[in-house]
Amino acid sequence: MQTVTILGLETSCDETSVAVIRNGKLLSNIISSQIVHEQYGGVVPELASRAHQKLIVPVVNEAMAKAEVRKEELSAVAVAVGPGLMGSLLVGVNFGKAFAYGLGIPFIAVNHMEAHIYSNFIDDPVPQFPSMNLTVSGGHTQLVLLKDEFTYEIVGETKDDAAGEAFDKVAKMLNLGYPGGPQIDIYAKKGNPNAIKFPRPYATENDFHFSFSGIKTSVLYYLRDNKLRDTEIPEQLLADICASFQSSVVDVLVQKTIRAAQQYGVRDIAVAGGVSANSRLRDEMKKAAEKNGLQLFIPKFEYCTDNGAMIAEVGYRKYQRSIFSPINATAIANLEL
């Protein structure tokens, strides 16, 4: 068997991550999360690209060393080319193209959202085609029917905020820092999810689109009406707000995913993207899948948020089909699936 070794680069937002996959087996996945943004309460694009610029070479070296792979052994370089922040993407794309060109090996452009879907294919067992995929990240919320390898149909997406964006914005209102999703998840564990009734937009409607800005605004109105803005919120109330908000978002995500799977007649459902690290989403999706006789796939925590492994996984699959990209391929900030 021919040995295929793929280097995967991910620099689309604030994680500089590099992975090596050989013959479908992950050998290394180094993730360097940029902490510079914390003090600003959100990702500062210019600072993100500067940090990627500083980190890309050391992170590549670390990933190669951990995998015990020499650059001459690489078969191709796969890079996330979008969607994402232009300045951040360009660091990975330009480095990856130069690296591939210098080594005389193919360059493989990878769609970041497609890669999130394939984060469920890194370790066995993997979903069977067709599968219904919920991708929930900071920039996107989509329900995607994966009909076959690289054959997609978007069956629903958000009309306004992404789920992760809603988590981050609500966390900001509650002064919980950035990124807010993990903070809300932690506080919610001590709270009552039924304490406050926030809306569940489109939950019962017969399409698979989402809307999260209304839930976010309801939290804002709740804080305003109860004179809780810019004040120290008592610990238990804060936990109840987090738990109630989280439960609204999770309810909608779970209901729509199950209904989409039923409508399209698929047995395997998969969740991916940063919000798939959310403990309530994981628990509720598991319960709902079991109740409805569906098989659920959720990646390990390190494959939920942005990572090089998912890019290398897509790269490996494209390599086998000889899907390569020209050297003049470039970053596309709003690349669609």
Assess contact for 95 and 52: CB atoms under 8 A: no
Whose Cβ is closer to ligand KG4: residue 106's or residue 201's?
Answer: 201
User: Contact with ligand KG4 (CB under 6 A): which of 96, 139, 156, 193?
Assistant: 139
Q: What is the DSSP letter of 131?
A: E
Q: Residue 156: name the closest of 81, 210, 86, 112 by CA.
A: 210
Considering only residues 2 to 41 of the shown chain, the ones binding ligand KG4 according to CB under 6 A are 13
Label residue 309 left, alpha or beta by phi (over 0 means left) and psi (-120 to 50 means alpha).
alpha
Identify what 185 binds: Zn ion, ligand KG4, none; CB under 5 to 8 Å per kind.
ligand KG4
The rounded distance, in Å, linking the Cα atoms of 256 and 143 is 9
Which residue blocks in the chain are alpha helix, DSSP H? Answer: 45-67, 86-103, 112-118, 163-173, 180-188, 213-225, 235-263, 279-291, 301-304, 308-320
User: Contact with ligand KG4 (CB under 6 A): which of 82, 127, 138, 308?
Assistant: 138
With CB under 6 A as the rule, give the number of residues binding ligand KG4: 19
Identify what 180 binds: ligand KG4, Zn ion, none; CB under 5 to 8 Å per kind.
ligand KG4
Whose Cβ is closer to ligand KG4: residue 167's or residue 198's?
Answer: 167
Element (H, E) at 337: none
User: Contact with ligand KG4 (CB under 6 A): which of 48, 306, 316, 317?
Assistant: 306
User: Contact with ligand KG4 (CB under 6 A): which of 305, 309, 310, 317?
Assistant: 305
Interstrand relation of 5-10 and 76-82 (parallel, antiparallel or unpaired): parallel
The b-or-e profile of 298-322 (16+ CB within 10 A means b, else e) is: bbeeebbbbbbbbbbbbbbbbbeee
Whose Cβ is closer to Zn ion: residue 240's or residue 306's?
Answer: 306
- Choose one: 93-101, 141-149, 209-217, 274-282; the region binding ligand KG4 (CB under 6 A): 274-282
User: Contact with ligand KG4 (CB under 6 A): which of 156, 273, 299, 308?
Assistant: 273
Residues that bind ligand KG4 (CB under 6 A): 13, 137-139, 164, 167-168, 179-182, 185, 273-275, 277-278, 305-306
